[in-house]
Structure 1
Amino acid sequence: MPALSLLPHVPDDVMARLSARPAAFPERADAVVIGGGIMGAAAAYYLAGAGLETVLVERDRVSSQQSGRNWGFVRTQYRDPLELPLAMEALSIWPGLEQELGEATGWRRNGCIFVADTEEEQSAFARWQDRARDISPDARILSGREVSALLPALRRMTAGGLHTPSDGQAEPALATTAFARAAARSGVTILEDCGAIAIETAGGKVSGVQTEHGLIRCDVAVCAAGALSHRLLAPLGLDLPQQSVRSTVSLTAPLPPLAEACFCGFGIGLRQRVDGSCIIAADSSSDIDLSLDSFRAARFFLPELLRHRNGFALRLGRPFLDDLHERLAVPQHERALAGRRPSIPANRDRAARTSETVSRLFAGTEAIEIVKSWAGRIDVLPDALPVLDAPGGIAGLIVATGFSGHGFGLGPAVGRHVARLAKGDAPAEILAPLRFDRFARGTYARAHAPL
């Protein structure tokens, strides 16, 4: 694979349309997928493979939001044990994706390593490994000496670590658009700059998806709309306790070899790319941009917010004013389209602190050049697990949302399960913890790790 240029790294750069020729607006399809992130693109690809005439609608551009703004980890390591089987399934798919899709994804099997600053962290890793041993036998506990041998550039001694050599990484926008391009070649109609306004139903069944450009009649609607999913589901009587946080990420100029494996520890996450540049970010530290919408479902999130209050910064600014304007001036049916192609400001102070931490931790990084910093809005659910379900009561509706900042690596498996649900197959047993109704039933547990 050729070296990856620094310049076209999304987000914030203008993304070309997938096709220079605009598609004709379809009046009818078997399935309509809402959302052009990796979940929606993978779902569209596998739906087409299952023989369904499929349309994907995206209010912006494919991969323009969180699927193009994340760290690029493809990991099973230290995932919630309830989500781990899905992650293992996805990991089995990634190595063959470039051949299957006929497109580059940036996949590399380079492992994942989390290091422990304290014995308490090391004990948490050991407890996880003990629970996950039968599902993820490749994960192993490292001593401090073994961590030093694996990461010779790391200046600090550690209490140990957790290492999964079979994990890997991929380039987020590259992989997402690879699914979309393969879907288009399989006959999927992809409509960018086409926001969904509502999911239409009749007689307890999906009957169509209303977009800003017209109605597409269909029998299956896949809601993979990220942080906007709750707005599309609420009119159907489906209350999803979904919120969003803002996370800042930076790209460095090429650096000496620091960590072959995707790295988390001492409050940072780091992924070194083929050309030596690094994706760096604060681990479990985010900004909450307050708005009137922040108080919706607040009772679900307050316990975790209080428990991990040092990891969040509450901000009152432009998002609050934008939300107020929407409520006062934008018709309800158009609110799903509000904030198209937003400029999401990076937290420059957080980016600078992350860069300083990297410099302290790794040899050869005394003068890090930050090429760019960006932010993304991460949709979160109270237990930090996604919803992947066909909720009862509305035949033909499938929901794939709420991936809480760690969904990128799950994308291929999610797409396959969406296609199976669309064909009427019974949900796989591993999807039971991801049911939509777990919040109404009170059957969800506290988050495995900080949101």
Structure 2
Amino acid sequence: MSMLSLRSHIPDDVIAAADSLPGQADVVVIGGGIIGAAAAFHLAGAGLRTVLLEADKISSQQSGRNWGFVRTQYRDPLELPLAVEALSLWPELERELEAPVGWRPTGCVFVAATQKEMAAFAGWHEKTRSIACDARLLSAREVTDLLPSLRGKTEGALYTATDGQAEPALATLAFGRAAARRGAHIIEDCGALAIETTAGAVSGVQTEHGLIRCNTVVCAAGAQSYRLLAPLGLSLPQQSVRSTVSLTAPLPPLSEACFCGFGIGLRQRADGSCIIAADSSSDIDLSFDSFRAARFFLPGLLRHGSGFSLRLGRPFVDDLHQRLAVPDRERAIARRPRIPANRKLAARTGAAVRDLFAGAASIEIVKSWAGRIDVLPDALPVLDAPVEIGGLVVATGFSGHGFGLAPAVGRHVARLATGEAPAAILAPLKLDRFARGTYSAPHAPL
């Protein structure tokens, strides 16, 4: 396999589909991204008969397509305690999972191109210094010392040396394989149609291949979560945006730390290749679903409209076809078409990197891809066991932040699923905050 391969589009035989569907389990996890895989790992470790369902392949969606940042830096203060917990777990993850995950403590730096950006970093630093203990502000001179190849004039930066990076597909697959070794039943190409309940409590999961009876379900289905929760009377104002990412050929050292600034995000990998993307710039592929829960998202869209590109095309046609031809409850398992990268945006991002770093004159984009990020109005996830449905745990809506959080999220999911009281740090992440109107505006643009 090429050294440049991210393994982000996983071969079919990585985790083979089960020969038969188990009729009974203690817990069914819906969703084979890193959140679901981490949850299955910890649930199986707790001795529960665990089934992990994935409508496609493990790590085939956003968990295998993200930037690979593992950061505490500039997190929403409400999410920060979970990020700090997760960061403490990453250094031991390869030993625990018995597999490489690509973890490297390379740090993270957010560079301020304007005084306004620097003021925002300073405000965050002042508010969070008691928990984000390793974060510090850098002067313009210190930025030059840290990033000698950076050409852009800066006002300073926010820097956390103990943050790091990992390889998205490697880490997700490592959790999935480790869960299987602990006895979890991993079933790919098997979507969940509905969560069944009896007398207000979970009683099973109806899949496209049959029913699995269980008393506990973890809904970690990413952008499809709202479809599974709505029939239970649970409203999740969830939308998705399309984010384009590119891989470059190896370059001279540009930034050891994961880098954000001047409109780009960059992660330089161990072989010198770089993951690059436009920071806070996403495509919204309009469909009928775009208008669902629009009132929750319209204020943010109006405030940060320059960061989004509204597109009317194939997704609208596909959505119309599904509404006319596919029964509503089967739409959750409709096979996802290939997600097209925004090639123009990828080219602009490559040019921006070339202009920003002295060592990037020979930049060559090897490949580009896109993923769909499921977002919630406050850009915070739901990590909750809602009281309305006994035996249900919801872990979704990570809004592009879930990769780095996953090691901690998996532990909390297992605790919730086994009946433990939720940790205090999960209080801001309850599902009912949207119905109650107690959520706030996003800490940073979605």
TM bin, normalised by shorter chain, reads: over 0.9
For the residues of structure 2 that align with 1:82 and 1:17, how far apart are their CA atoms?
Answer: 39
Question: Structure 2 vs 1, CA of residues 229 and 438 (structure 1 numbering), >3 Å: closer, same or farther?
Answer: same
**Counterpart residue type for residue 347 of structure 1:** N
Give distance in 2, aligned partners of 1:206 and 1:230. 17
Match of 2:4 in 1: 6
Instruction: Please state how far the C-alpha of 1:21 moved relative to its aligned partner.
Output: 7.1
Q: Which residue of 2 aligns with 1:102?
A: 98
* Structure 2 equivalent of residue 209 of structure 1: 205
User: What displacement does 1:333 show?
Assistant: 1.8
Give, in whole Å, the separation in 2 of the partners of 1:265 and 1:448.
Answer: 17
Q: 8 Å contact 1:251–1:278 — kept in the other structure?
A: yes
Residue type at the aligned position of 2:43: L
Give the Å deviation of 1:4. 7.6
Counterpart pick for 2:78 among 82, 90, 94: 82
Equivalent residues of 1:292, 1:323 under 8 A apart: yes
Cα deviation for residue 24 of structure 1 reads 3.0
Structure 1 residue aligned with 2:409: 414
For residues 239-267 of structure 1, what are the alpha-carbon distances to aligned partners after superposition, in whole Å with 9 as ceiling and x for unaligned?
10000000000000000000000000000
- CA deviations over 1:201-242 (Å, ceiling 9, x no partner): 001110001100000000100000000000010000011000
Q: Is the 8 A contact 1:4 1:275 kept in 2?
A: no
CA distance in 1: counterparts of 2:345 and 2:15, whole angstroms = 37
**Equivalents in 2 of 1:35, 1:157: separation in Å?**
44
Structure-to-structure mapping, 1:366-377, within 5 angstroms: 366-377=361-372
Matching residue within 217, 220, 228 for 2:216? 220
- Residues 102 and 166, structure 2, Cα contact 8 Å, conserved in 1: yes
Match of 1:301 in 2: 297
Q: Does 1:137 align with 2:124?
A: no
**Counterpart for residue 286 of structure 1:** 282
The one of 235, 238, 261 aligned to 2:257? 261
Contact preservation (8 Å) 2:16, 2:187: no
Structure 2: gaps (5+ residues): none
Verify: 1:357 aligned to 2:382, yes or no.
Answer: no
Task: Report the Cα distance in structure 1 between the residues aligned to 2:15 and 2:242, rounded to whole angstroms.
Answer: 30
Who is 2:341 aligned against? 346
Give the superposition deviation at 1:6. 1.0
Distance in 2, Cα, partners of 1:304 & 1:121: 18
Shift of 1:50: 1.1
Alignment pair present for 1:155 and 2:188? no
Question: Superposition RMSD on alpha carbons, in Å?
Answer: 1.1
Tell me by how many angstroms 1:25 deviates: 1.4
Q: Secondary structure of the residue that 1:123 maps to in structure 2?
A: helix
Check conservation: 1:72, 1:408, Cα contact below 8 A.
yes
**Is the Cα–Cα contact under 8 Å of residues 374 and 400 in structure 2 kept in the other structure?**
yes
Counterpart-to-counterpart distance in 2, 1:118 and 1:19:
47
Residue type of the alignment partner of 2:291: F
Tell me what 1:435 maps to. 430
Flag structure 1 segments of 5+ consecutive residues without an equivalent: none
Aligned with 1:137: secondary structure? Answer: coil
- Give me the TM-score of the superposition, normalised by structure 2: 0.99
Pair 1:166–1:4, CA change in 2 (3 A) = farther
Task: Work out the CA distance in 2 between the residues paired with 1:300 and 1:64.
Answer: 29
Aligned pairs for 1:12-161 within 5 A = 13-20=9-16, 22-161=18-157
Please say if residues 17 and 61 of structure 1, whose CA atoms lie closer than 8 Å, have aligned partners that are also in contact.
no
Give the CA deviation at 1:342.
2.0
Tell me if structure 2 keeps the 8 A contact 1:4–1:274: no
Greater alpha carbon shift after TM alignment, 361-370 vs 302-311: 361-370
**Contact 1:385/1:403 (<8 A) preserved:** yes
Whole-Å separation in 1 of the counterparts to 2:213 and 2:321: 32
In structure 2, what is the Cα distance between the partners aligned to 1:19 and 1:302? 40
Cα distance in 2 between the residues matched to 1:394 and 1:161? 45
Equivalent of residue 248 in structure 2, options 222, 247, 252: 252
How far is the alpha carbon of 1:23 from its aligned partner? 4.1
Residue of 376, 389, 399 corresponding to 2:394 = 399
Percent identity, aligned pairs only?
Answer: 74
CA distance in 2 between counterparts of 1:303 and 1:341 reads: 29
Paired residues of 2:10 and 2:59 also in contact (CA < 8 A): no
Structure 1 CA distance for aligned equivalents of residues 280 and 391 of structure 2 = 36
| Paired residues, number | 446
CA distance in 2, matches of 1:193, 1:289: 25
The letter for the 2-side match of 1:54 is T
1:287-330 deviations in whole A, cap 9, x for unaligned? 00000000000000000000000000000000001111111110
> How far did 1:17 drift?
2.7
> Is the 1:390–1:396 contact (alpha carbons within 8 Å) kept by the matching residues of 2?
yes
Residue range with higher mean Cα deviation, 366-375 or 32-41: 366-375
CA distance 1:139–1:14, change in 2 (3 Å): closer
Q: Which amino acid aligns with 1:302?
A: L
1:180 maps to 2:176: yes
Does residue 382 (structure 1) correspond to residue 397 (structure 2)? The answer is no
